[in-house]
């Protein structure tokens, strides 16, 4: 057996949560492999809506176990809130026993968040546009070999270890930013949340995942963010601090590359980005406003308006190459209904040259998109349940994308609900 990997191909918010939920019934284990509570994964079914930040999107199926993998970073306070909201909605994960946490996952401290905020504030206009969840500083401590891990919370000297790291952060806050925050309340909240985390099974997740594979069970790795936010290959420095591409699933769960099966890449029928950084196909006009309004393009985690634009094929091809994507999922096709013409960027004009790839420096020299005009469709897609009812013009858009990208579009999403999903192949 192999691990299937599901990930975002754009700048995040492609609809990963919804699609993982749709696919979960067919898997024994859903495992998040990177990122932290910067993610906001939205699921809708039976008239209810849930936004998950740290918890994998397979929790609503009885026979599916969910793992927060070692590549994820956990803010105990956010996780406690997430668990509380789910419990209030009738999903007590402690009772259901369907969530386990990797001992090797790193912890986000309140001081990591303060460092994130102070750093962004100091950068002013040039800021990353971080979600301010402490992502950068926590991964810095991980690679800097100073971090605290979930497994440490059971050690007798955990409080001292915590204090040592928090003191280092406080010294940095003072020296670099002149800040001397009072942490009494946040520290108490942090340790209350740690007490809750201790009640969940803390596991050697690399063994758990590999044993599942040996037993012939089905595993789906759930990515967060998107390829263009990858720390190595994204629009650096306007990226997040983890590998969001398929390789991240190997290090983030402890699986060998040869054990990766299908790689399922998700993209919107158009494109969005939240936060700073280059976005070649961005529409700073009425059409962009329309896409934001119809697509409800506001961040699931921060509520910030998302920047909107047309689909970017050089960026998508790059993302497909980086992760070896074998199946595509197109979401939010319904949002484009009613547009007379839609546009797909097939090439860039970059320094006077027509190119079809993502150049090295897109931050100081933003490539200018070259578009193909495509006829739009007018039919409302949200009630379609049969592939034969897909409008001909949408069908040609999909055919065009498949030909350009060289990978089949296996699923088409036509609304936020679990049921609004069509299997094309
Ligand atoms: P994720 O971070 O990739 O899981 O995506 P988000 O949840 O942040 O953002 C996707 C948004 O689009 C959510 O509000 C979803 O409920 C919604 N959504 C997902 N698929 C569709 C779709 O096919 N059509 C529409 N209209 N909304 C969708
Ligand atoms: P999901 O999983 C969209 C963006 C932030 C910012 C940059 C760095 O819901 O798709 P960070 O908080 O990581 O320091 O922010 O990355 N970003 C996301 N954008 N969806 C996400 O997650 C994101 N997670 C981070 O807006 O530009
Ligand atoms: Mg999101």
What's the pLDDT tens digit per position in 193-240?
999 999 999 999 999 999 999 999 999 999 999 999 999 999 999 999
Asked whether residue 337 carries a pLDDT value surpassing 90, the answer given is: yes
Distance from chain centroid for Cα 355: 28
Residue found by looking up tokens 């800097």 in the block: 144
Q: What percent of the chain has pLDDT over 90?
A: 97
Structure tokens at 401: 């994308």
Residue positions annotated with a catalytic role:
13, 41
DSSP states of 386-417 as a string?
SGGGS-HHHHHHHHHHHHHHSS-EEEEE-SSB
* pTM tops 0.75: yes
DSSP 304: P
Q: What pLDDT, on a 0 to 100 scale, did the predictor assign at position 302?
A: 85
DSSP states of 158-219 as a string?
HHHHHHHHHHHHHHHHHHHH------HHHHHHHHHHHHHHTTSPEE-HHHHHHHHHHTT--E
Q: d(Cα 146, Cα 139) in Å, to the nearest integer?
A: 10
Q: d(Cα 244, Cα 227) in Å, to the nearest integer?
A: 6
Asked whether residue 382 carries a pLDDT value surpassing 90, the answer given is: yes
Asked whether residue 301 carries a pLDDT value surpassing 90, the answer given is: no
Which residues are near ligand 2 (CB < 6 Å)?
8, 11-13, 38-41, 128-131, 133, 135-136, 224-226, 229, 240, 274-276, 300
pLDDT per position as a tens digit, 107-148: 999 999 999 999 999 999 889 999 999 999 999 999 999 999
15 ligand 1 Cβ < 6 A: yes
- Ligand 2 atom with least separation from CA of 131: 12
- Closest protein CA for atom 20 of ligand 2: 12
Q: What pLDDT, on a 0 to 100 scale, did the predictor assign at position 162?
A: 98
**Cβ atoms of residues 284 and 305 within 8 Å:** no
Q: What pLDDT, on a 0 to 100 scale, did the predictor assign at position 352?
A: 95
Q: What is the mean pLDDT of residues 307-335?
A: 98
Q: What is the mean pLDDT of residues 366-393?
A: 97
Q: How confident is the model at residue 73 (pLDDT cuts 50, 70, 90)?
A: very high
User: Directed axis angle between helix 110-123 and helix 158-177, to 10°?
Assistant: 10
Q: What pLDDT, on a 0 to 100 scale, did the predictor assign at position 34?
A: 98
Cβ-Cβ contacts under 8 Å for 423 (sequence gap 6 or more): 387, 410, 411
The ligand whose atoms approach the alpha carbon of 42 most closely is: 1
**Cβ atoms of residues 277 and 10 within 8 Å:** no
- Closest protein CA for atom 3 of ligand 2: 12
Q: How confident is the model at residue 300 (pLDDT cuts 50, 70, 90)?
A: confident
Q: d(Cα 290, Cα 308) in Å, to the nearest integer?
A: 9
E strand segments, 277-382: 307-309, 311-312, 327-331, 341-350, 353-355, 368-375
Nearest to 336 by CA among 385, 299, 283: 283
pLDDT per position as a tens digit, 362-373: 999 999 999 999
Q: What pLDDT, on a 0 to 100 scale, did the predictor assign at position 379?
A: 97
Q: What is the mean pLDDT of residues 316-336?
A: 98
Residue found by looking up tokens 């308006």 in the block: 305
Q: What pLDDT, on a 0 to 100 scale, did the predictor assign at position 152?
A: 98
**Rg for the chain (alpha carbons), in Å?**
21
Distance 170 CA to ligand 1 centre (A): 38
Mutating to test ligand 2, I would choose from 38, 72, 238 the residue with most ligand atoms within 8 A of its C-beta, which is 38
Q: What is the mean pLDDT of residues 54-76?
A: 97
Nearest to 97 by CA among 70, 66, 127, 125: 66
Q: d(Cα 63, Cα 66) in Å, to the nearest integer?
A: 10
Asked whether residue 155 carries a pLDDT value surpassing 90, the answer given is: yes
Q: What pLDDT, on a 0 to 100 scale, did the predictor assign at position 62?
A: 87
Indicate the average pLDDT of the chain.
Answer: 97
DSSP 420: S
């Amino acid at each position: 057996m192999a691990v299937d990997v599901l990930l975002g191909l754009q700048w995040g918010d492609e609809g990963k949560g919804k699609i993982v939920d749709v696919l979960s019934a067919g898997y024994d284990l859903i495992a998040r492999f990177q990122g932290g509570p910067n993610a906001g994964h939205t699921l809708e079914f039976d008239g209810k809506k849930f936004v998950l930040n740290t918890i994998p999107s397979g929790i609503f199926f009885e026979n599916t176990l969910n793992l927060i993998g070692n590549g994820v970073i956990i803010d105990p306070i956010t996780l406690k809130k997430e668990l509380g909201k789910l419990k209030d909605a009738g999903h007590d994960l402690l009772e259901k026993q369907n969530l386990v946490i990797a001992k090797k996952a790193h912890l986000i401290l309140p001081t990591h968040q303060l460092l994130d905020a102070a750093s962004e504030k100091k950068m002013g206009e040039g800021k990353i546009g971080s979600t301010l969840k402490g992502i950068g500083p926590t991964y810095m401590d991980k690679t800097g070999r100073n971090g605290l891990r979930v497994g440490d919370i059971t050690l007798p000297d955990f409080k001292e270890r915590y204090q040592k790291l928090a003191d280092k952060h406080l010294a940095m806050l003072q020296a670099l930013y002149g800040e001397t925050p009072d942490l009494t309340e946040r520290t108490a909240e942090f340790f209350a949340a740690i007490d809750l985390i201790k009640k969940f099974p803390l596991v050697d997740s690399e063994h758990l995942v590999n044993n599942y594979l040996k037993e012939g069970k089905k595993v789906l790795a759930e990515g967060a963010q998107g390829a263009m936010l990858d720390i190595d290959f994204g629009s650096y420095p306007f990226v997040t601090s983890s590998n969001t591409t398929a390789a991240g699933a190997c290090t983030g769960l402890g699986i060998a590359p040869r054990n990766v099966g299908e790689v399922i890449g998700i993209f919107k029928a158009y494109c969005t980005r939240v936060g700073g950084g280059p976005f070649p196909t961005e529409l700073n006009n009425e059409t962009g406003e329309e896409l934001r309004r119809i697509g409800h393009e506001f961040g699931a985690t921060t509520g910030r308006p998302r920047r909107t634009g047309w689909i970017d094929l050089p960026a998508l091809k790059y993302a497909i190459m980086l992760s070896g994507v074998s199946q595509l999922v197109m979401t939010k096709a319904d949002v484009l209904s009613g547009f007379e013409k839609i546009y797909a960027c097939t090439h860039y004009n970059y320094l006077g040259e027509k190119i079809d790839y993502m150049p090295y420096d897109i931050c100081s020299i933003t490539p200018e998109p070259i578009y193909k005009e495509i006829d739009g469709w007018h039919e409302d897609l949200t009630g379609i349940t049969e592939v034969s009812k897909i409008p001909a013009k949408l069908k040609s858009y999909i055919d065009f994308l498949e030909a350009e990208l060289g990978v089949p579009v296996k699923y088409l999403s036509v609304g936020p609900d679990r049921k609004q999903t069509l299997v094309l192949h």
